[in-house]
Amino acid sequence: MSEEVKLHGAWASPLSYRVIWALKLKGIAYEYVEEDLSNKSALLLHYNPIHKKIPVLVHTGKPICESMIIIEYIEEMWPHTPLLPTDPYDRAISRFWIKFVEDKALPILGRMFNTMGGELEKAIKESLEILEIVEEHGLEDNKYFNGETIGMVDIAFGSILYWLGVNEEVLGVKLLEPHKFPRLHEWFQSFQEVPVIKENLPDRDNVVAFFKRRRETLE
Ligand code: GSH
């Protein structure tokens, strides 16, 4: 069976970028397959028949779905350049924050993209609450969530914050105010300066235009 690594993703998807960052941070060669989410390929439906979503990583012909599960797989498969700490307690804390991002932050981001009026107001208020929690409890005095090097929590949360910035522009609101969230703001600056992150982000204007067009279909 082929040893090749393939990633099915979509150019404007925050969750695809999570996997791209993890693969690139570890220097794993892969082939990228762009999916049209309005006309999903037969292969994507075959690989992810349950959720029918990207990202899907295909390794040696076997599909793995769900962005953070894919990254756990990548971590186990290619343990060099670790993305989780070695200490079991620190690993548990990292997984706590990943779960927090998945359970709390990600759904709110989705609602910000897809709602109007009162629901949107509520999503904006809740996203500020999330930022407050992470500002107060998440980073402490570390450069990154795991300490001095970028890791899995940064990947999980970084994707949310980049697309939160896109949302700010689409909606004309500012949420990640540096004076309100100094730690998070500084962390996000450092995160975006990591070469693998900086060199692997979609063109900001194109993403904003894409989500603006999507919003117009809600009106
Ligand atoms: N929990 C999944 C993950 O982390 O991978 C969510 C995947 C997801 O929502 N993917 C979106 C998608 O494929 C793109 S960001 N949407 C197409 C659809 O829902 O039909």
ipTM: 0.98
Per domain, the residue ranges of the chain are 5-77, 88-216
Residue nearest to atom 18 of ligand 1 (CA): 53
Per-residue pLDDT in tens (0 to 9) along the chain, 219 residues = 447 999 999 999 999 999 999 999 999 999 999 999 999 999 999 999 999 999 999 999 999 999 999 999 999 999 999 999 999 999 999 999 999 999 999 999 999 999 999 999 999 999 999 999 999 999 888 899 988 999 999 999 999 999 999 999 999 999 999 999 999 999 999 999 999 999 999 999 999 999 999 988 887
Query: Position 67: which residue type?
Result: S
Domain 88-216 matching CATH 3.30.360.10: the answer reads no
CATH number for the region 5-77 comes to: 3.40.30.10
* Beta-ladder partners of 5: 59
- Taking alpha carbons only, the member of 153, 138, 145 closest to residue 71 is 153
Q: Ligand 1 pocket: which of 51, 98, 160 to mutate (most atoms <8 Å of CB)?
A: 51
Pairing state of beta strands 56-59 and 31-34?
A: unpaired
What is the spatial distance between Cα 162 and Cα 18, in angstroms, rounded to a whole number? 11
Strand ordering across the sheet containing 62-65:
31-34, 5-9, 56-59, 62-65
Closest residue by Cα to atom 13, ligand 1, is: 53
